[in-house]
A and B are shown apart, each in its own frame.
Chain A
Amino acid sequence: MAGLFNWHARKSDAAAAVAPVAAAEPSVTTSKVFPKFLATLSQKPSPVLVDVGGVVGANVAFFGERLACRLVVEDLVALVEAHAKRPGGDALSTALLKQLSALEPDSVDGVMCWDLFDYLDRATSQALASRLVKLLKKGGVLYGFFGTASAELTQYTRFIVQGPNSFRQRPYAATPTRRHVLQNRDLAKIFEGMLVTESVLLKTGTRETLFRKP
C-alpha cells in the first residue's frame, strides 16, 4: 500500500517537472538597441520601413501608431523555409533579390532584419546585405540579431514588439538548418558602406546590432 502511495507521489512529481515545459511562455527580450532604431526613424517625416520577417499584426499597429510610417512587409523567412524544404531550383540569393526588386534604391529609411541572417550561408548573406544597403537612404538604419554560436536551428522566431524597448519571441517550426555565424569583422564586410552604431551581446548569446548608412 505504501508503495502505491509512493508511486502516486512520484507520478505527481514527474507531472510537475513536465508542466512548465509544456506551458512555456514566449520569452521576452529587453532591448537597448531597438529604442535607438525607433528614435532615428521617429525623426524622419513619414518614414518607409521594411520588415523582412513574416507579418505580425501587433507590430503593424505599433509602427503605425508610433511612426505613422509606410511599412513594407517582405516575408523573406517564408522564402528561406520554402527553399530549405525544396533545395532545387533557383539559388536562394536569386529568389531573395527578386522579391526585393520592387523596392527602389535609396527609398527606405529603416530595415528590420531580425535574425534572418542566421539562416543564410555566407554568399547569400553577402548578396542580401549588399541589396539592403542599396535600398537604404542616407541616414537610414538597419536592425538585426546575429547568433554567435554555431548550432542546428530547428525553429524560426517571430518578434512581437511589446513596447519601445521590449519584444516577445514566439518560436515556430523550421526545416533544420545550420547557423552560419557572422563575427563582427564579417558583419563589417558584408554590410560594407554601413557603420555599426550599436552592438550589444545579449545573455542569450545573440548580438543585437544597429547599422547606419552615413
Chain B
Amino acid sequence: MWKRDEAVRPPQPASSPSPGAVPETSTPRVVDASRHSHSERDTVNIGKSVIIKGELSGSEDLTIEGQIEGKIELKQNVLTIGPNARIKASVFAKTVVVQGEVHGNVTASERVEIRDSGSVDGDLSAPRVAISDGAHFRGSIDMQKGVQQGSAKPEVPKVGEKAAETRSATAPAPAVSVAAASGSSGAPVR
C-alpha cells in the first residue's frame, strides 16, 4: 500500500555524471587547446640566447630575438627582428619589421618597417618603406618602380626551401630550416 511507485518518481538531478557521459564543458576546452596550438604554429620564435651562423630559410612567420650571421630568407612571410636581436645578414622576406639591430641589406616584396627602437645599416629595397621617428638608418632606400618585386625573390629556389614548404602544408611542425648552423649556445629554437 505504501510502496512508492518507482515509475512515477520524479527524476533526481544527477550528482555525478555517469562514466560514459561526456561533460558539457569538454568541447570548449578542446577548441581552446586547438586554437592555442594553432597560434603557436603561426609564428616561430628564435630566443635571445640563440646564435646562428649560416642560412636561415622557411615558410612561416618568424620572430628573431637572438643573433644571426649569414642570410635569412622567408620569401612569403613576415620576419620580425625583435628589440634584442642583432643581425649581420642579408634579409629577404615578404614583410620585414625591424625593432632591433640589422647590419646588412634588407629586401622585401611588400614592406619594410623600421620601428623607433630599430637600427639598420644597409640598403633597403621594397615597394613600401616606413621609418618611425627615432629609428636609426644609414644606407640607401630603393623605391624605383619595377625593381622591388623581382629583387625580393631569389632566382633559383633551393631544395631545402621546397622541403620546408611541403612539411608546413602537411604537418604542424615549424617550417623554418637552418643550413650550416653553428655556434648555437644550446638554447632551443622555440
Interface residues of A (CB under 8 A from B): 46, 55-57, 60-61, 63-64, 68-75
Q: How far is the CA of A56 from the CA of B132 in the complex (A)?
A: 8
The answer to whether A70 touches B138, judged by C-beta atoms less than 8 angstroms apart, is no
Q: Choose one: B135, B142, B144; the contact of A57 (CB below 8 Å).
A: B135
Q: Choose one: B132, B133, B143; the contact of A70 (CB below 8 Å).
A: B143
Please list the 3 inter-chain residue pairs (A to B) with the smallest Cβ-Cβ separation, ordered nearest first: A57-B131, A64-B143, A55-B137
For chain B residues 138-182, which have a beta carbon within 8 Å of chain A?
138-145
Q: Choose one: B132, B141, B142; the contact of A73 (CB below 8 Å).
A: B141
Residues of A close to B139: CB separation below 8 A: 72-73
Residues of A close to B144: CB separation below 8 A: 46, 68-70
Q: Choose one: A56, A71, A74, A75; the contact of B143 (CB below 8 Å).
A: A71
The answer to whether A60 touches B129, judged by C-beta atoms less than 8 angstroms apart, is yes
Q: Say yes or no: is B130 at the interface (Cβ < 8 Å to chain A).
A: yes
Q: Say yes or no: is B136 at the interface (Cβ < 8 Å to chain A).
A: yes
Q: Measured between C-beta atoms, what is the minimum distance from A68 to chain B in Å? A: 5
Residues of A close to B136: CB separation below 8 A: 55, 75
The answer to whether A68 touches B135, judged by C-beta atoms less than 8 angstroms apart, is no
The answer to whether A68 touches B140, judged by C-beta atoms less than 8 angstroms apart, is no
The answer to whether B130 touches A57, judged by C-beta atoms less than 8 angstroms apart, is yes
The answer to whether A72 touches B135, judged by C-beta atoms less than 8 angstroms apart, is no
Interface residues of B (CB under 8 A from A): 129-133, 135-145
The answer to whether A75 touches B129, judged by C-beta atoms less than 8 angstroms apart, is no
The answer to whether B138 touches A74, judged by C-beta atoms less than 8 angstroms apart, is yes
Residues of A close to B133: CB separation below 8 A: 56-57
With A55-B135, A55-B136, A57-B135 as contacts: A64 and B141 at CB distance below 8 Å: yes
Q: How far is the CA of A73 from the CA of B131 in the complex (A)?
A: 12
Q: Report 20 cross-chain contacts, Cβ distance below 8 Å, ordered by A residue.
A: A46-B144, A55-B136, A56-B131, A57-B132, A60-B131, A60-B141, A64-B129, A64-B141, A64-B143, A68-B145, A70-B140, A70-B142, A70-B143, A70-B144, A72-B141, A73-B138, A73-B139, A73-B141, A74-B138, A75-B136
The answer to whether A73 touches B137, judged by C-beta atoms less than 8 angstroms apart, is yes
Q: Measured between C-beta atoms, what is the minimum distance from B62 to chain A in Å? A: 24
Q: How far is the CA of A46 from the CA of B131 in the complex (A)?
A: 21
| Interface-centre pick from B129, B135, B138, B143 (highest chain A CB count, 10 A) | B143
Main SS class of interface, A: mixed
| Interface-centre pick from B130, B131, B136 (highest chain A CB count, 10 A) | B131
Q: Supply 4 further A-B pairs (C-beta < 8 A) apart from A55-B136, A68-B145, A71-B140.
A: A55-B131, A63-B143, A73-B140, A75-B138
Q: Measured between C-beta atoms, what is the minimum distance from A77 to chain B in Å? A: 12
In the complex, what residue of chain A is closest to B129 when comparing beta carbons?
Answer: A60
Q: Measured between C-beta atoms, what is the minimum distance from A175 to chain B in Å? A: 19
The answer to whether A70 touches B131, judged by C-beta atoms less than 8 angstroms apart, is no
In the complex, what residue of chain B is closest to A72 when comparing beta carbons?
Answer: B140
Residues of A close to B137: CB separation below 8 A: 55, 73, 75
Residues of B close to A63: CB separation below 8 A: 143
Residues of A close to B143: CB separation below 8 A: 60, 63-64, 68-71
Q: How far is the CA of A72 from the CA of B122 in the complex (A)?
A: 10
Q: How far is the CA of A69 from the CA of B132 in the complex (A)?
A: 20
Q: Measured between C-beta atoms, what is the minimum distance from B68 to chain A in Å? A: 23
In the complex, what residue of chain B is closest to A170 when comparing beta carbons?
Answer: B133
Q: Measured between C-beta atoms, what is the minimum distance from B116 to chain A in Å? A: 10
Q: How far is the CA of A151 from the CA of B129 in the complex (A)?
A: 38
Q: How far is the CA of A57 from the CA of B111 in the complex (A)?
A: 14
Q: How far is the CA of A70 from the CA of B139 in the complex (A)?
A: 10
Q: Choose one: A61, A69, A75; the contact of B130 (CB below 8 Å).
A: A61
Residues of A close to B141: CB separation below 8 A: 60, 64, 70-73
